[in-house]
């Protein structure tokens, strides 16, 4: 390993040269108390910034083993240090240093969620941070002495303030890891307690706005308070006993008037697959990790999905056992989204009638009288929701305000009134008994078969121009895979662009398992097996600092939305 003096001399030597001379500094350097590795050097000041790593030995960093003694604490510690590094880089980095991205020092910036990331690693031997640097230039001429300031003045300050235990706020650090550990503990208890979700009393569910996920703090904020009939107590390792609403398995309706908090509750449950930072308000809102938001998605492509449980008897005898289309309707897309989620193991469906196709959700008595079942291909969700639970152990939480017919199939009915939940199950059942539904059940006695599909690797082409592999994410909900765009706007549980970046590379990685025999679920499981064993680094041939963990259902959803995707059904 070269020394810090070698790097300083190199930067002085190439000062004023063409930008490509920065390639000379690639490699590892001993800075004494830490080491610096320049893994990738950008081609020009406007290109993606250079990738750099800092590694601090634990004998210098001195983070106690208890701060990363289990997976939950380790992930939370890494998240906490990432946040500190980002704040320190904002404080100590002089950004105005020439052309393009010159002078930038930054790291993957977390949001409200605590995600497993590749930005920081902690073990018994060292603490490692992965970040980006915009190597400075004026025009395309190297500003070597400005680069020296970045490496030898600013970077050491950032390391000092973010990667050494003695310099971090210990109370904040322990709070961060304990809250995350408690959330994991709550989530891990759901299955054994027969629950799909838990919402702690005093949780703050509303967000500042639709584009600001921070908690609402101004105006009238109503903390969550569980109905007595659904209140349970769960033990946590740090916060002790927490009380709140436990939502049992089965079919739960969330009803109430407009603007009373129905969708706010559902959105909190959607995000309950993630841990949240202290002060978020949803720290102790947890959901079964196999949950998925299901919605209509007009215009999406569908590839050989067996949607027979929901749609059959198309005109002219067209089959729906291997249904494909380039432009799905609202009801057809929602049917396919449901089947695709079940295909890869979803255990809880989260549905809001506001983002659903009306004819997928319900067909009332009058419409049944006017259009007989033999003329209507769609079996509405109301006739399949209980079968999903009885036949496949898949629960549903449904926000609905327009059809009381769902009272007949519900196990629990929660009514949101002025942002407070009330258990109105018995009242809803009494109403259902008093006013008998006249609609006829459609779609048979069983849910039907989930036919698995085998993805065909030849339909995945990441090539673009001269590049054999060109995969980029364009925001949280868009991936450019070769020359094709994957639209993830309906995959609503994605929260971070680093998740999207990892998913794009995971699609390419998954090709090694697409042998024409394995099903999509098997391919996804194998990808996650490798991630579990080797970490997200397995997705890239070189160290990457801007990946974040994602769900199996997210990867499958992205594959299904690649418009070139081809599959054949398993026989």
List, for residues 100-109, the tens digit of each pLDDT value. 999 999 999 9
Q: What is the DSSP string of 504-531?
A: HHHHHHHGGG--SSS-HHHHHHHHHHHH
CB atoms closer than 10 angstroms to residue 435: 11
pLDDT at residue 261, as a whole number: 93
- Counting every residue written for the chain, the total comes to 571
Task: Tell the residue number behind the tokens 């604490």, with chain if given.
Answer: 73
The beta-strand segments (E) located in 275-411 are: 275-276, 285-287, 291-294, 302-305, 323-325, 348-352, 395-399
Q: Which run of H or of E encompasses 10?
A: helix 4-13
Q: Residue 18 gets which letter from DSSP?
A: B
Q: Which residue pairs from 212-215 have beta carbons closer than 8 angstroms and sit at least 24 positions apart in sequence?
A: 213/111, 213/112, 213/495, 214/112, 214/280, 215/279, 215/280, 215/281, 215/282
Taking the domain 188-451, which CATH number applies?
A: 3.40.50
CA distance 288 to 198: 9
Q: Which of 248, 245, 360 is nearest to 294 (CA)?
A: 360
CA atoms within 13 A on the CB side of 346: 24
CA distance 410 to 186: 25
pLDDT at residue 319, as a whole number: 86
- Give the domain ranges of the chain: 2-168, 188-451, 453-569
Label the pairing between strands 141-142 and 275-276. Answer: unpaired
Q: Are 225 and 420 in contact (CB under 8 A)?
A: yes
Q: Are 12 and 148 in contact (CB under 8 A)?
A: yes
* Full pLDDT tens readout for the chain, 571 residues: 899 999 999 999 999 999 999 999 999 999 999 999 999 999 999 999 999 999 999 999 999 999 999 999 999 999 999 999 999 999 999 877 889 999 999 999 999 999 999 999 999 999 999 999 999 999 999 999 999 999 999 999 999 999 999 999 999 999 999 999 999 999 999 999 999 999 999 999 999 998 999 999 888 899 999 999 999 999 999 999 999 999 999 999 999 998 899 999 999 999 999 999 999 999 999 999 999 999 999 999 999 999 999 999 888 778 899 999 999 999 999 999 999 999 999 999 999 999 999 999 999 999 999 999 988 999 999 999 999 999 999 999 999 998 999 999 999 999 999 999 999 999 999 999 999 988 999 989 999 999 999 999 999 999 999 899 999 999 999 999 999 999 999 999 999 999 999 999 999 999 999 999 999 999 999 999 999 999 999 999 999 999 999 999 999 999 999 999 999 998 7
CA atoms within 13 A on the CB side of 163: 31
Q: Which of 237, 230, 234, 231 is nearest to 189 (CA)?
A: 234
pLDDT at residue 155, as a whole number: 98
pLDDT at residue 374, as a whole number: 87
pLDDT at residue 29, as a whole number: 98
pLDDT tens sequence across 121-161? 999 999 999 999 999 999 999 999 999 999 999 999 999 99
């Amino acid at each position: 390993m070269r020394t810090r003096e070698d790097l300083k001399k190199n930067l002085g030597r190439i000062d004023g040269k063409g930008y490509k001379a920065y390639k000379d500094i690639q490699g590892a350097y001993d800075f004494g108390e830490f080491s610096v590795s320049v893994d990738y050097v950008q081609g020009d000041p406007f290109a993606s910034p250079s990738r750099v790593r800092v590694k601090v030995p634990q004998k210098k960093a001195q983070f106690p083993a208890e701060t990363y003694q289990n997976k939950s604490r380790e992930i939370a510690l890494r998240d906490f240090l990432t946040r500190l590094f980002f704040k320190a880089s904002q404080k100590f980095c002089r950004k105005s240093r020439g052309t393009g991205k010159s002078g930038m020092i930054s790291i993957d910036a977390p949001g409200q969620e605590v995600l497993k990331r590749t930005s920081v690693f902690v073990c018994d031997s060292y603490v490692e941070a992965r970040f980006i640097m915009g190597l400075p230039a004026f025009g395309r001429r190297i500003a070597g002495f400005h680069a020296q300031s970045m490496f030898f003045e600013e970077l050491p300050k950032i390391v000092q303030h973010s990667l050494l235990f003695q310099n971090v706020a210990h109370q904040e650090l322990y709070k961060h890891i304990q809250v995350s550990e408690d959330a994991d503990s709550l989530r891990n208890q759901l299955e054994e307690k027969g629950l799909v979700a838990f919402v702690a009393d005093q949780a703050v569910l509303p967000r500042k706005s639709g584009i600001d996920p921070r908690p609402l703090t101004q105006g009238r904020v109503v903390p969550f308070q569980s109905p007595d009939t659904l209140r349970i107590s769960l033990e946590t390792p740090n916060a002790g006993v927490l009380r709140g609403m436990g939502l049992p398995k089965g079919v739960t309706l969330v009803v109430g008037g407009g603007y009373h908090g129905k969708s706010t509750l559902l959105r909190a449950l959607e995000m309950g697959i993630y841990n949240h930072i202290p002060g978020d308000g949803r720290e102790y809102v947890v959901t079964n990790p196999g949950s998925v938001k299901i919605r209509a998605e007009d215009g999406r492509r569908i590839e050989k999905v067996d949607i027979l449980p929901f749609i059959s008897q198309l005109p002219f005898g067209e089959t729906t056992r291997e249904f494909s289309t380039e432009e799905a309707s609202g009801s057809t897309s929602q049917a396919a989204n449901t089947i695709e989620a079940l295909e890869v193991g979803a255990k809880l469906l989260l549905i809001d009638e506001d983002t659903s196709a009306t004819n997928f959700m319900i067909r009332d008595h009058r419409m049944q009288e006017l259009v007989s079942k033999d003329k209507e291909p769609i079996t509405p969700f109301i006739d399949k929701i209980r079968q999903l639970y009885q036949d496949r152990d898949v629960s549903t939480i449904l926000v609905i305000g327009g059809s009381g017919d769902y009272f007949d199939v519900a196990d629990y009915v929660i009514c949101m009134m002025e942002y407070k939940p009330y258990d109105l199950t018995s009242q809803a059942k009494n109403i259902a008994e008093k006013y008998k539904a006249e609609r006829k059940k459609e779609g048979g006695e069983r849910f039907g078969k989930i036919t698995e599909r085998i993805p065909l690797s030849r339909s995945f082409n990441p090539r673009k121009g001269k590049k054999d592999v060109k995969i980029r994410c364009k925001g949280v909900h868009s991936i450019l895979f070769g020359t094709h765009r994957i639209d993830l706007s309906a995959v609503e549980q994605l929260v971070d662009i680093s998740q999207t970046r990892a998913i794009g590379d995971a699609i390419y990685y998954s090709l090694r398992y697409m042998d024409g025999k394995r099903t999509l679920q098997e391919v996804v499981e194998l990808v996650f097996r490798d991630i579990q064993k080797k970490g997200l680094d397995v997705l890239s041939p070189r160290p990457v600092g801007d990946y974040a963990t994602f769900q199996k259902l997210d990867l499958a959803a992205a594959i299904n939305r690649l418009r070139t995707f081809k599959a054949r059904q398993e026989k």
